[in-house]
Amino acid sequence: MKKIIGAVMLVVAAVCSSSAQKTTATYKLGDIVSDFKLKNVDGTMRGLVTDAGREKGYIVIFTCNHCPYAKAYEQRIMDLDKNFRQSGYPVVAINSNDPKEAPEDSFEKMAERAKEKNYTFPYLFDESQAIAKKFGAVRTPQVFLLNRNKQGKLELVYTGAIDNNWEDAAKAHRHYVEEALTDLSENLKPATAETKAIGCTIKWKK
């Protein structure tokens, strides 16, 4: 009986996911990503592209103020922007947490944090959570590396962690985002295109 229920559930799940694909499919590796507009901590509305001629892609990072993992990675996120903005891959940070669930992640607190730490990258508030859903982001911090392909479209080429040691950057021996960017600079697809890490769950609206 359990097997039958299991099989029925599988079929239902398959049907649901195939019908969902038309409207709310999340990006998969190799998919083309559409630009969007969200409120930045400086009060302006912006998305990914500011200078299509110079920007070869974007290091999109779902992060937030409150999560210990996000805090542990904050300096590394700032360093990624400093190190790769010039070569055409700026960081775009997005907070999608519901401030009702995580009060430290309100727009006001985001602005405070960005100012205090002198973020050199936009820190966008995904208030409706639609962008996190579109990207299929589940935790913070989580990276989605986008690369402009030959047709000029933004392609998702890497998703996952920044490196493989959240506690101590010096002890990380795999630097996934940097490795992916090195591969891209050599016109290769990232050899490691997907990684996993522990992170805080995105706090969805109830």
Partner 1 sequence: MRHLIFSILVLSGIIRAEAQTLDNYTLQQFQNRVLQDNDTLYVVNFWATWCSPCVKELPYFINLSSEMAQQPVKFILMSLDASGDGNKVAAFLNRKKIRLETHLFTEADPNVWINALEPSWQGSIPATFLYHKGAKVSFQEGSFESEKDLKTFIKNHK
Residues 176-195: x/- map of binding to partner 1 (CB under 8 A)? -------------------x
Cβ atoms of residues 124 and 94 within 8 Å: yes
Considering only 100, 174, 185, 191, the residue that binds partner 1 (CB under 8 A) is 174
First to last CA, the chain: 33
Of the listed pieces 37-45, 80-88, 123-131, 165-173, which binds partner 1 according to CB under 8 A? 165-173
Q: Does 171 bind partner 1 (CB under 8 A)?
A: yes
Q: Which of residues 56-85 bind partner 1 (CB under 8 A)?
A: 68
Q: Does 145 bind partner 1 (CB under 8 A)?
A: no
Q: Does 165 bind partner 1 (CB under 8 A)?
A: yes
What is the full DSSP assignment across 6-67?
HHHHHHHHHHHHHHHHHHHPPP-TTPBPPP--EEETTS-EE-S-S-TTT--EEEEEE--SS-
How many Å is the Cα radius of gyration of the chain?
18
Strand 45-46 and strand 91-95: the pairing is unpaired
Q: Does 100 bind partner 1 (CB under 8 A)?
A: no
Of the listed pieces 15-23, 127-135, 160-168, 182-190, which binds partner 1 according to CB under 8 A? 160-168
Using CB under 8 A, list all residues that contact partner 1: 2, 68, 102, 138-139, 160-161, 164-167, 171, 174, 195-202
